[in-house]
Amino acid sequence: MTIIEPGYMEGTRGAMAVDWESRIDMARMREARLARAREAMVAAGYDAVLLLSDPNIRYVTAVATTSVSGAGGFHYSLLSGEGKITHWDSADHAIHERRTCPWLDDIRYAAPGIGIVPAALGPGPAAEVLQKQMAKEIATALSDHGLMSGRVGLDVGQPGLMALLERYGYAVDAGAGAALAAARAIKTSDEVECLRLSASVCEAGFQAMKEAIRPGARESEVFAAGVARIIELGGEHGGGNISSGPNTWPKSQADTTDRIIRPGDVVYSDLYNIGFHGYRSCYYRTFSCGEPKQATRDAHTRAVENLYAVLNAITPGVTTAEAAQRFPDAKGEYWDYYGASEPWQMTTNHWGHGIGLSLYEIPMTWRGASPEGATVYAEGMTMAVETQDRDGHGQGVRVEEMVVVREGGVELLTRWPIQEITVCE
């Protein structure tokens, strides 16, 4: 086995700030993330970067943005090569941030010239005016930072906004996202602890689900019990699902339905985008309503063995292409069942993805892409690795672990028992 034992501050200490024990140091985490972002930005040749993606905004500013996929121009941030930050937000949010975020000394009101506001306005002069105002505000901030010209990168492509910024004399491109992704791929000890706490609240959710799984309970009831416990502990609910019986193979596109659970049903849950301090989970476990069939136990054993075959291949210096070869082949992925002929057609069934302030980060480990775009694993990368299998009786199982790449192997962040299906009496 190559599972690394956790060390100091790597065993899920309390989630609250105290004076009598070293826990997550938020100020240290903010400073370390900003330093990594600035280093990556300068290495990519940018004089400044404009951040439009929520996870990147949070990484640099520590502002608790309201989604994981962007807020339509309600907030955005500028980071200069000197490490200075200008942050724009909607009026109420900006007022609160000025009061509660002393590490940010330049918070301005956002002109929502991209995203949902222009879309709601429709084509015409109103949307154009807003976008021009947004560009003007950004150019003014660049000037305030002493940048009258230079190379500016956006982390999300916005051709209209980019063209307007170029009129102010800046060379603009949309390549900053790659620089930020590279910075975010390596986690500090504080970031790892946030992910560990995210896993721990998921485990509380699994316990609540286990207690709720019984004949006559609906999928929605079981999932609600898990989410309620997660929120009670201070977790952030941004996603997740539960599937039972025939919804487990193939996986139903309608996550968490009103289906009534029956004796002998397989039930599995994916607690993804369950956050703690913004850091996201992706964590599968499989349950059974009463004793499962032997064929179901066998499928679960195969899924776990396939998962750990990949985990055992991950260590600094190894590539994602090498580890991806440990995932099941065409026979093990049941290509004949799906009518598939290429690995990329089996998206989400067997893969590993980086995880942090967003659900999918560097590195991606997958037969469908890793051979052509291999990444080298490095100390401090954090990942979620998942596999599945079927029992031949119309049901399937799924398992997933969250891990940190360590020297010589990986450290598990997840602790819910995995070697056997969790049986709910």
pLDDT in tens, 160-169: 999 999 999 9
Q: How far apart, in whole angstroms, are the C-alpha atoms of residue 258 and residue 245? A: 12
**19: exposed, middle or buried (Cβ count in 10 Å: 0-12, 13-18, 19+):** exposed
CB 319 within 8 A of CB 397: no
Where are the domains positioned within the chain?
26-184, 186-424
Architecture of domain 186-424: Alpha-Beta Complex (3.90)
How does pLDDT run across 196-249, given as a tens digit for each residue?
999 999 999 999 999 999 999 999 999 999 999 999 999 999 899 999 999 999
What pLDDT sits at residue 69? 43
Q: How far apart, in whole angstroms, are the C-alpha atoms of residue 320 and residue 371? A: 8
Tokens of 243: 């599937």
Tokens of 57: 């905004």
The structure's pTM equals 0.94
Residue 7 has pLDDT above 80, yes or no: no
The band of 21, judged by pLDDT with boundaries at 50, 70 and 90, is confident
Q: What is the CATH number of domain 26-184?
A: 3.40.350.10
CA nearest neighbour of 347 among 320, 366, 332, 328: 366
CA nearest neighbour of 262 among 209, 215, 211: 215
Q: How far apart, in whole angstroms, are the C-alpha atoms of residue 410 and residue 146? A: 45
Q: How far apart, in whole angstroms, are the C-alpha atoms of residue 43 and residue 81? A: 10
- Mean pLDDT on 349-361: 96
How does pLDDT run across 86-141, given as a tens digit for each residue?
999 999 999 999 999 999 999 999 999 998 888 888 888 898 999 999 999 999 99
The three-class DSSP label of residue 33 is helix
